[in-house]
Structure 1
Amino acid sequence: FFKIMVNFSESREGLEQLAIEADIALLVAEAVDDPIAVKSASYATKRQIMVDISGKNIMGVPVPVIQKSSVALNVMERGYGLIGTSSRINEAAEKFEAEMDMIIRLAETETTLRRLGNEIQMNRRRVNALDQIIIPELKEQARYIRFSIEEREREDLFRLKKVKKLIERKKLKKRMSKTTGR
């Protein structure tokens, strides 16, 4: 879990850096080239990204598995003419495609981490409830049961002694009555 967390943190930092680079590339493309040409190229490349989301279990926790085709396209697949666009627009497109690839990849990892973290937190609460509430209650009940059993044993012993004395008295009375002759 913690290895995944460290890896995710590093990847998240990489994503932030990639986003900054993509924004800078877009600003440069808009500054040098015509903003209308940049917008036109972006409209020409609009498409859907196909992702297949399935699930798997990690230690009983359902987590998503995201499979996708690469978002990055080569220059010929982007749908705009090479003559009307500059290399700056292509560079901005490449950086945004790389950013989108990383976002989709990190979405799976982040969701997995959140679900595992929630499960760990829930189990921690259960363990704390056991330690703080249930186990002390069970110990108290065990002490009460032990006390009750000891009390019953003392009462039984007392009764046995009383019965034994009664029996001895009766025997003594019988012997006395036999010796006196009545």
Structure 2
Amino acid sequence: MVDRVSATRSELLVRRAQIGLAVQGRDLLKEKRTALMREFNRLSQNALAAMKDLEERARDARGALSETTALDGPEAVGSAALASGGEIGVGLKSKSVAGVKIVELEHDPVGRARTDRGYSLAATTPRIDGVAEGFEAVLDGLLDFVAVELSLRRLAEEITRTTRRVNALEHVVVPGLEGERDFIAMVLEERELENRVRLMRAKARANKETTERGPA
């Protein structure tokens, strides 16, 4: 590639400027990656805590469901489950972390009062209320976890993309420009040396001719 480089002082100045911009871009990308990794680590800790909490809620809810099904019968549990169906309002908002949109999920309260679940309180037992509360807690935790997981995926993708760009600048672009800069500088130095030698020879030849001619 250096064979095709025009070895002029203007090109040397251009390469120096390009190197400065490439290094500045690399440093900015490193700062961006640091900010992304900081947010990724923070959300990862939240995700681990949320996952552990969700597993505990799910285990308790499954236990309550098994006990209630055994004692009250699957028909009573199934009937209550059908009657208690409903909708939950969900909305998304986002914030920017180093240019990456981080999702935050907002939703209506999942937990409901006993009288708002749709099934007859007279025809059900408190155990069914316990099952409903348990799975409402599971759904509440699941909705919170989904937003964190989505944000983690976006951060991981952007961290990977940014790392590739940093590596390209650090190991390909900057070294290539530095190689061209050094090549141009070397050629210019050689030319300057050749010109200096040529001038010295011309001066020596002129002095010799003057000496041979003698005084006018």
Q: Give the TM-score taking structure 1 as reference length.
A: 0.88
- The separation in 2 between residues aligned to 1:52 and 1:23, in whole angstroms, is 28
Trace 1:142-157 onto structure 2 (pairs within 5 A).
Answer: 142-157=181-196
Per-residue Cα deviation, 1:87-117 (whole angstroms, up to 9, x for no partner): 1111111111111111111111111122122
Q: Which stretch of the first structure deviates more once superposed, 124-133 or 161-170?
A: 161-170
> Which of 114, 128, 138 pairs up with 1:99?
138
- The separation in 2 between residues aligned to 1:14 and 1:118, in whole angstroms, is 26
Trace 1:3-152 onto structure 2 (pairs within 5 A).
Answer: 3-152=42-191
Percent sequence identity is 33
Q: Which has the higher contact order (CA 8 A, sep 6+)?
A: 2
Q: Give the TM-score taking structure 2 as reference length.
A: 0.75
The Cα of 1:121 is off from its aligned counterpart by 2.1
Q: Amino acid of the residue matched to residue 112 of structure 2?
A: L
SS in 1 for 2:178: helix
Q: Pick the structure with greater CA Rg.
A: 1
How many correspondences in the alignment? 177
- The separation in 2 between residues aligned to 1:151 and 1:40, in whole angstroms, is 93
- The separation in 2 between residues aligned to 1:177 and 1:14, in whole angstroms, is 107
Q: Amino acid of the residue matched to residue 28 of structure 1?
A: E
